[in-house]
Structure 1
Amino acid sequence: MSKILKAGALVVALLMNSAYARAEENFGRWLINFQRTKEVKPVTDKRYLKECGECHFAYQPGLLPERSWEKLLNAGALKNHFGDNAEFDNDTLQAIHDYAVENAADKSFYKRSRKIALATAVGEAPLRITEVRYIMRKHKDIPEKMVKGNKDVKSLSNCNKCHTQADKGIFDNDTVSIPNYPDWDD
């Protein structure tokens, strides 16, 4: 009986101390709810969707850690947002900032967002979705001709060109269809 108790205590201790457990915002909530949510939380904020989606795909906040959103969504950075002026009035900026930070990868319970958070080194703050280690790893085997050389895709930053359910936060392989390459399968 003593061996069973020791083994049980060891399993609990290992689980509680694992990097996966420490990365959870609220491990207790995760432990009680074994039904993990897959993928990435879809964008639910209408203002974020409208303002960000006006110029590009409205990336789910769960694709970047909080540090990245803090750097991206400040008045100074938005004056030159990847070559464009994306300034907002103060109220809009605050609302978009708060939504992105509250739903960032490192605060999410969605499985793919957690993987993104865990793959991001401490202190690292990628400013582009395409600089996220997890996303780079997932796309490393795709030939350049299918992305940059593809007139209908042009860049990995155009998630919704190949991920047919990207707007719903679904990025699994079953929903990938690369334009002009219907038979490609990794």
Structure 2
Amino acid sequence: MKKLNMCLLSVAVVSAGLAGVGLADDDGDEGRYMRPWGSNARPGVAPVDYPLYRNECGSCHMAYQPGLLPAHSWERLMNGLDDHFGENAELPPGDRKAILGYLLNNAAGRSNYRVSNKFVRNLRGTPMRISELPYFVHEHREIPARLVKGNPKVGSFSNCDACHTGANRGSYNEHQINIPGYGRYDD
């Protein structure tokens, strides 16, 4: 009887959670990317608030917010630091473990932020780059390559803070885009 009650309670909790699923997308593609937290999700992604991560990873590139990749991607990245996109980024074991814990606890789908939740939708496999995620591709599909890859001040889509003026604060609002050498971008 105890197992049956627990099972029924689980079904009720899941059903209640599904009742709060909202369909939304910032540019009008309602329904394409579901927002599981309902209308109370905060905008953007949680900003980086862990100094060890910010100092270690941010010394070579933007300290990407953990909410931009799912947990399994962060785990794979952190377990392969000896060949981190062609570079050796190995860390002392204690630092690696502490940073991995931070990334896993705050990964996409594990926090109540709109952009973070959208990044885990429609995933296949274990993406190693934020720019491989379906939502990222969807949001950047209309940007001409000359403005990013052909722009020496940007260089690639992985250089988020070159164009997204609020990226370091976790804000990827399309109204805060300023492409170096081009200006404000409006699709």
Normalization by structure 1: what TM-score? 0.80
Indicate the structure with greater helix content: 1
| Structure 1 residues 17-41: Cα deviation after superposition (integer angstroms, max 9, x where no partner) | 46948xx9xx8xx57xx53211100
Shift of 1:117: 1.3
- Compared with structure 1, are the counterparts of its residues 44 and 57 closer, same or farther at alpha carbon in structure 2 (3 Å cutoff)? same
Shift of 1:153: 0.3
Q: Any idea what SS the aligned residue of 2:120 has?
A: helix
Residue number among 98, 118, 128 corresponding to 1:115 in the alignment: 118
* Contact 2:121/2:134 (<8 A) preserved: no
| Structure 1 residues 122-149: Cα deviation after superposition (integer angstroms, max 9, x where no partner) | xx21001111111111001000000000
For structure 2, the residue ranges without an aligned partner over 5 or more in a row are: 1-13, 23-33
- Compared with structure 1, are the counterparts of its residues 16 and 109 closer, same or farther at alpha carbon in structure 2 (3 Å cutoff)? closer
Q: What does residue range 6-155 of structure 1 map to in structure 2 within 5 Å?
A: 16-17=17-18, 20=21, 35-74=40-79, 77-121=80-124, 124-155=125-156
In 2, the alpha carbon distance for the partners of 1:42 and 1:127 equals 20
- Compared with structure 1, are the counterparts of its residues 18 and 35 closer, same or farther at alpha carbon in structure 2 (3 Å cutoff)? closer
What does residue 4 of structure 2 align with? Answer: none
Shift of 1:108: 1.3
* Equivalenced residues, count: 162
User: What amino acid sits opposite 1:154 in the alignment?
Assistant: G
What does residue 10 of structure 1 align with? Answer: none
- RMSD across aligned C-alpha pairs, in angstroms? 2.3
| Structure 1 residues 5-26: Cα deviation after superposition (integer angstroms, max 9, x where no partner) | xxxxxxxx986446948xx9xx
Q: Percent of counterpart pairs with the same letter?
A: 41
Q: Any idea what SS the aligned residue of 2:62 has?
A: coil
What does residue 156 of structure 1 align with? Answer: 157
- Compared with structure 1, are the counterparts of its residues 106 and 180 closer, same or farther at alpha carbon in structure 2 (3 Å cutoff)? same
Q: Any idea what SS the aligned residue of 2:139 has?
A: helix
Q: Any idea what SS the aligned residue of 1:105 has?
A: coil
| Higher RCO (C-alpha under 8 Å, 6+ residues apart) | 1
Indicate the structure with greater strand content: 2
Normalization by structure 2: what TM-score? 0.80
